[in-house]
A = this chain, B = another copy of it.
């Protein structure tokens, strides 16, 4: 497979950097082709703004969706955006690797989604009718591709348990896994999470961690994705996009969106 790793950590000698290098090596040893977008090393521009649309008339008010679509269709996006889109089109699987900062991704990675996910590329795709509300949540440009988060956090696993104070990890990652990955069509594999990384790992701890990550990477082609519900498969009413009363009756929130 072609695997893209999108990596977001500023420390060149960090645990995250080590895990990135481990993943590249392991995936290549397994016969995959690997590209890495190391966002800090690339000095990736995080903030979406009018400069991203090269031939925009600056006299007109910024209209993000219209400007994004026009630049995407006309090939007048900022070249760094177009380059990342080409990597996504090339990839069969994408790994997003980052430390959990404030229960979300680092700003530089959020800015990758804000900018690379153009209108017409990752959203604003497909027809809207009585049967379909665009190609999203199970359809879209990333259909057939797999995605997986590789996340580190200083907190303990119990703090992220189903009754842990931080909220369950699956719920915290829902805006990312469902909203950013499943939305444009990725099949989302269960996340790899390394807890309690605030203290320096000893050699045995690091070996155990990479052993566990290695097993996940070895199974990247075969791991069963999270069973999010397709939007246009009949479970949701259109256009309210609310679950039909007879689908998972009485269930709300996260669990309602799993088959």
Contacts and interface: CB of A to CB of B under 8 A. Distances in A.
Interface in A197-247: 198, 231, 236, 239-243
Interface in A101-138: 101-108, 110-111, 113-114, 117, 137
Given A171-B253, A242-B163, A110 B104 contact: yes
Q: Dominant SS at the A interface?
A: loop
B49 A47 contact: no
A102 B107 contact: no
Given A102-B114, A175-B103, A10 B49 contact: yes
A33 interface: no
Number of copies: 2
A167 B47 CA distance: 26
A61 interface: yes
A40 interface: yes
B104 A107 contact: no
Size bracket of the A interface? 35 or more
A46 B49 contact: no
Interface stretch (A86-94, A142-150, A154-162): A154-162
A254 interface: yes
A30 interface: no
Contacts of A156: 239-241
Interface string A243-259: 10000000111101100
A161 B242 contact: yes
Contacts of A254: 167, 171, 253
Nearest to A170: B253
Interface in A164-206: 164-168, 171-172, 174-176, 178-180, 183, 198
Nearest to A247: B163
List the 4 shortest-distance A-B pairs measured between CB atoms, nearest first: A107-B111, A103-B179, A103-B175, A13-B61
